Amino acid sequence: MRVIIVDDEDLARGIVREYLASHLDIRIVGECSNGFDAVKAITESKPDLLFLDIQMPKLNGFEVLDLLDPRPRVIFVTAYDSYAIKAFEVNAIDYLLKPFSRERFEKALLRVAGKEGDEPQDAVDNLIRSNRSLNAPIERILVRDGSRVHVIPSPMVDHIEAQDDYVSIHSGGKKYLKLERLSDLEAALDPKRFVRIHRSHIVNIERLVRLETYAKDSRIVVLNDGTKLPVSRPGYEKLKGLL
């Protein structure tokens, strides 16, 4: 089994490394101290198992996981409080709550190593959504491009368009394609800044220049870069409440 350890604390990585030393069937193929390095290492090395810290600089553990496709099996290593831990329990993904004993470590390793294949996709997605629900609206959107990660500050987003299972994020004349449902991204964004004007479109209201009648009972918004987007009837009602 090929393993990558991701934690910003040298001591924490050292403990995991020490506990793994007696497992001759496990090979550590990488160690990372931040989320950006982790995404690159995981994408390139494709480990079977990931020991992943949550609270890290640059990218946290949930953001790292959200950028991975496919995802390896995961054991979270966390100092999160008991309320947040409930999200793990509900979604049946194992975790080690710092500080943890060797006995607890072995239990987690046996449990995860005994699973076939990756973590269920819906369980991981639910965990990411649970984490978002515990926090304020996201301040940035992360998009993976190979082993690179684009960080788009939320205020810099002009509008977002649904494209099948992806969203196309428009910012400063550039487009970024991200594997995510529009409804999930809508729930994570600041509702005072972003409004879903159509089943396929979310717009940053600070980019809105005017609202036009296109035909009978049909409307469009015009953004400051000249982009024109359709507005549904429910979207129009939302706009009226914000403008």
Question: Domain range holding 81?
Answer: 2-133
Query: 164-168 long-range contacts, Cβ below 8 Å, gap at least 24?
Result: none
**Same domain assignment for residues 127 and 192:** no
Residue 83 reports pLDDT greater than 70 = no
Query: Model's pTM, two decimal places?
Result: 0.79
**Same domain assignment for residues 129 and 13:** yes
pLDDT confidence of 70, banded at 50, 70, 90?
A: confident
Domain finish residue from 133, 156, 191: 133
Helix 10-20 vs helix 102-113: angle between axes, to the nearest 10 degrees?
70
Q: Are 243 and 205 in contact (CB under 8 A)?
A: yes
Tell me the average pLDDT of the chain: 88
**Same domain assignment for residues 217 and 234:** yes
Average pLDDT on 85-112 reads 83
- List pLDDT tens digits, range 183-242: 989 999 999 999 999 999 999 999 999 999 887 778 999 999 999 999 999 999 998 877
**Same domain assignment for residues 144 and 124:** no
Residue 84 reports pLDDT greater than 70 = no
Which pair of tokens denotes residue 52? 């992943």
Q: Tell me how far apart the alpha carbons of residues 76 and 87 are, in angstroms, rounded to a whole number.
A: 12
What CATH number corresponds to the domain at position 208? Answer: 2.40.50.1020
Q: What is the reported pLDDT for 37? A: 94
Q: What is the reported pLDDT for 133? A: 67
Which pair of tokens denotes residue 192? 């005072």
**Same domain assignment for residues 18 and 127:** yes
Domain finish residue from 99, 133, 167: 133
Strand partners, 6: 32, 52
**Same domain assignment for residues 79 and 169:** no
- List pLDDT tens digits, range 116-140: 554 556 777 777 777 776 677 888 9
Work out how many domains the chain is built from and give that number: 2
Residue 29 class from Cβ within 10 Å (0-12 exposed, 13-18 middle, 19+ buried)? middle
**Same domain assignment for residues 42 and 87:** yes
Q: For residue 180, give every residue at least 6 positions away whose Cβ sits within 8 Å of its Cβ, in sequence order, or none.
A: 166, 167
Domain finish residue from 133, 166, 184: 133
